[in-house]
Chain A
């Protein structure tokens, strides 16, 4: 099924099924994923080419297949999904969906059902899963902190309030950002209001041991961990620069990198915060969004100095490397979010500017990067683009799509 017309027909057929969606048609789909409406006997289905797309306005996630781009079905009833994100169990069968309203939901991609759902906070911003797949952690704005759950039962194992102002019961709580999993059953996260990075060692999940790094720089807004798990990097909103923790150092210490990248210029307004998660490390270079400038910063990961800055079409939001590192794709904050730019990494130049649709919110590469899925919120569709020809190969109708998350994330640290 590489013929685009055939793909289009499949997409349309999938949508037809959805239009008349019922438990019966969805079950039929699950039993026979390659022949919708067929009568084949139930077969065992893999999960390696599945994913979830957030439909932010309707509180649902769509289960999608990336081998023949189409929507397999939807799972509704997940609450407020503005800024929702997903992490996966190791087998890719379960997605853990973190909703804005504090809902944490485990969905089964094969049965397309909600298996467990807890309301764990008042206002949440995302989560992470431990490398062994046993612990799921949620990062929260209200109450500010991190909660750790048993991945199987969603039982609360540990509550780590992000207490600042000297601590104690009267201490203020910071909003938490930049939560990632680290080797050794640890989670790292940053305190937006506390100018700190904390690492929680959850070897004993009910009694996490927290190491605190204070004074890392003003207002960390998001963070990433490099693919080898060595460097945790928090972007700073309150100053030009990033805070970096080398976790292989003994003891680890925080260093400031790319200090003063704004060179004293008046920053441009930031209509949407960039996201650092889903690192863009290509070869020996990391590609990072600048804050308040329309640039992508390129840093040498061997000595953490700036090697280039690439002018782009707006305030970058996601700067993501194709899995092979040959290209870096960038999307933008309003009002420039109808564009997506492609950077060629060997020449460090923008080689293409695409206009895939209105209000591009997210991009996700297929596991080996031959195509990229782009959510176009205001066109109510996801555009699937061949990353070699840069041509659109499929288009899926979805209701105000935002985040796109493929099960291949299960195998990658920091995703």
Chain B
């Protein structure tokens, strides 16, 4: 995994986690576990991440992500999102 992808994993777990839960089991935002997303089209998830969902608290994250990165996150959410532990290089902390 690239350094940027490790950053994205952390961002999803920690920052998206403030609404969706650190374990992505939901909160003010819906659960984003593999089971919860099983019927969702990956493109619409990516679009929601990138542009937000009007009428709900879900903001678009385009200021912090490219469209490709939003798609990468959506794909990995659907597979069961990686944990942070094990991704961080040992030397960093």
Contact = CB atoms under 8 A, between A and B. Distances in A.
Interface of A: 56-57, 80, 82-83, 100-101, 123, 125, 141-142, 175, 177, 192, 219, 221, 237-238, 269-273, 334-335, 359, 377-378, 380
Interface string B11-51: 10011011101110111100000000000000000000000
Interface of B is mostly: loop
B59 A83 contact: no
A270 B25 contact: no
Which DSSP category, helix, strand, loop or mixed, fits chain A's interface?
loop
B15 A123 contact: no
B59 A269 contact: yes
A100 B64 contact: no
Interface in B72-89: 84
Given A273-B57, A359-B14, A80 B52 contact: no
A221 B28 contact: yes
A83 B57 CA distance: 17
A79 to B, nearest CB: 10
Contacts of B57: 219, 221, 237, 270, 273
Nearest to A79: B23
A269 B17 CA distance: 16
Contacts of B59: 269-271
Residue of B11, B18, B25, B26 most packed against chain A (CB within 10 A): B18
Contacts of A335: 63-64
Contacts of B15: 271-272, 334
B31 to A, nearest CB: 9
Contacts of B4: none
B19 A57 contact: no
Contacts, number: 67
B90 interface: no
A100 B26 CA distance: 9
Contacts of A219: 57
Contacts of B84: 57
A82 B60 contact: no
Nearest to B31: A123
Contacts of A192: 28
A283 to B, nearest CB: 31
B19 A80 contact: no
Nearest to A175: B28
A272 to B, nearest CB: 5
Contact of B19 (A177, A273, A359, A377): A273
B22 A56 contact: yes
A82 B28 contact: no
Contact of A100 (B11, B25, B61): B25
Contact of A82 (B18, B55, B64): B18
A80 B63 CA distance: 29
A391 to B, nearest CB: 26
30 contacts: A57-B84, A80-B23, A80-B25, A82-B27, A83-B21, A100-B22, A100-B27, A101-B23, A101-B25, A123-B25, A125-B27, A125-B28, A141-B26, A192-B28, A221-B28, A221-B57, A237-B57, A269-B60, A269-B61, A270-B57, A270-B59, A271-B15, A272-B19, A273-B18, A273-B19, A273-B28, A335-B64, A359-B14, A378-B14, A380-B93
